A and B are shown apart, each in its own frame.
Chain A
Amino acid sequence: MRNVNRKSLLSVFLLLVSPFLRAQEIKLPAEVEKLSATAKEIVEVKMDGPMLRWASKFLSAEDPDEQKAAKLVQNLKSIYVRNFEFDKENAYSSTEVDSLRSQFGPPVWSRVVGVRSERDGENVDVYFKLENEKMAGIVIIAAERRELTFVNIVGPIEVDQLADLGGEFGIPRLKTKPSSSNPLAKVEKGDHK
C-alpha cells in the first residue's frame, strides 16, 4: 500500500515538473525570430532523440559520411539548427546576436571559442556543456556578414567528428593546420573576445 502511494506521488510529481523540464529547452529570442521576415533563406532543423534514431536508420552503411553521421548521432538527445541567410550585409545587428549569446553562460555552459573578426565580419562562439566531466552538449553561434547560424546539439558528441562532416557534400574542406589534437582547447586559454 505504501509502495503504491509512493508511486502515485512520484507520477504526480513528474506530471507537475514536466512542463518546467520542457521549459529548459533553448528558445531563440524574439529578436532573432523576427529575422525570419527579412532573411532570404531560412534553414531550420529540429530533431529529438527518437527522430534522430529513426532518421539514422536510413543512413547508408556504404557511404562513409553517412556512416560517420550514424556513429555521431547514436547517443544524441536532440539537434537544433537555425540558419538565416540574407541578401545584403548588416541585415541584423549585434543586439540580436548578443541576446542569443546571453543565454549561454556559467555554470552550465562554458565558452571555449569566441572569435571576433572585424576584417571578415565573422564572429563565432562555441560553448560546451559538461556533465560529470563528459561532453553533454554544444552550442555554436556563427554571425557572418550575410548569415547567422545557431546550432544546439544535446548529448555526448565528438567535436572532431562533427567538424569532419562540415567538409562534405562537395564543399571543400577548410584546410587548417593540425596544430594540436584538440584545437578548440587551445582557445579556451586565450578566449578571444
Chain B
Amino acid sequence: MNPPNEDMKHIDEFLKTALRREEAPPGFAEGILARVEQQPTVKPKEEHVPWFHLFSRPLVRWAAFATVFASLIAGSIHYRNVRREQAKGEAAKQQLMLALHIAGSKLQLARSKVNGIQTSQPDHERETNRSRSKS
C-alpha cells in the first residue's frame, strides 16, 4: 500500500501532464473558421409590427388625414362638375327638342294647309290636273 503522499504526487503529475500547454496544430484556426462559415447563419427573429402602428407617428397621421381630405374635396368638385355638365346637357337637349318641335309643327301646319287646299279643290279641276300630270 502506497503512503498518501505518494498518491498525491501521482495525481499531481497526472494533472500537470493533462493540463500542460500545447501548441495548436498548423491550420487549426483556418479549419475552425471554415466550418463556422459553412454553418447556416441564424437570422435574428424579426419583431412583427401591425400596419396601423404606422399611424402612431404624428407625421404619418397628418399626411393620411391630408390625403383623405384632399381626395374628398377633389371628388366633390368632380361630382359637382359632372352634375353641372349634365344639367347643361339636359337644358341643351330640351332646347333642341323644342326647336325641332316648333319646326315640325310649322311644317305640319304647312302640310295641313296644302292638303286642305287639295281637298277643297273641285272634282273636275282635280281630274284636269291629274290628266295633265299623266300626259
Q: Which residues of B contact A45 (CB under 8 A)?
A: 95-96, 98-99, 102
A192 touches B108 (CB 8 A): no
Interface-facing stretch out of A9-17, A95-103, A172-180: A172-180
- For window 86-135 of B, CB contacts with A under 8 Å fall at 86, 89-90, 92-93, 95-115, 117-119
**Partner among B93, B95, B101, B118 whose Cβ is within 8 Å of the Cβ of A168:** B101
Q: Which residues of A contact B111 (CB under 8 A)?
A: 163, 174, 176, 183-184
**Partner among A58, A113, A164, A184 whose Cβ is within 8 Å of the Cβ of B104:** A164
| Shortest distance from the beta carbon of A184 to any chain B beta carbon, whole Å | 7
| Shortest distance from the beta carbon of A17 to any chain B beta carbon, whole Å | 29
A69 touches B114 (CB 8 A): no
Closest to B115 in A: A176
Q: Which residues of A contact B113 (CB under 8 A)?
A: 113, 115, 117, 122, 124
| Shortest distance from the beta carbon of B132 to any chain A beta carbon, whole Å | 10
For this complex, 26 residue pairs linking A to B, each with C-beta atoms less than 8 Å apart, are A43-B102, A45-B95, A45-B98, A55-B95, A58-B86, A58-B89, A59-B96, A69-B96, A72-B100, A79-B103, A81-B98, A115-B110, A124-B109, A124-B110, A142-B110, A151-B102, A151-B103, A153-B103, A162-B103, A162-B104, A163-B111, A166-B104, A166-B106, A166-B107, A174-B111, A184-B111
Interface residues of A (CB under 8 A from B): 43, 45, 47, 51-52, 54-59, 65-66, 69, 72-73, 79, 81, 83, 113, 115, 117, 122, 124, 126, 138, 140, 142, 149, 151, 153, 159, 162-169, 171, 173-174, 176-177, 179, 183-184, 186-187, 190, 192
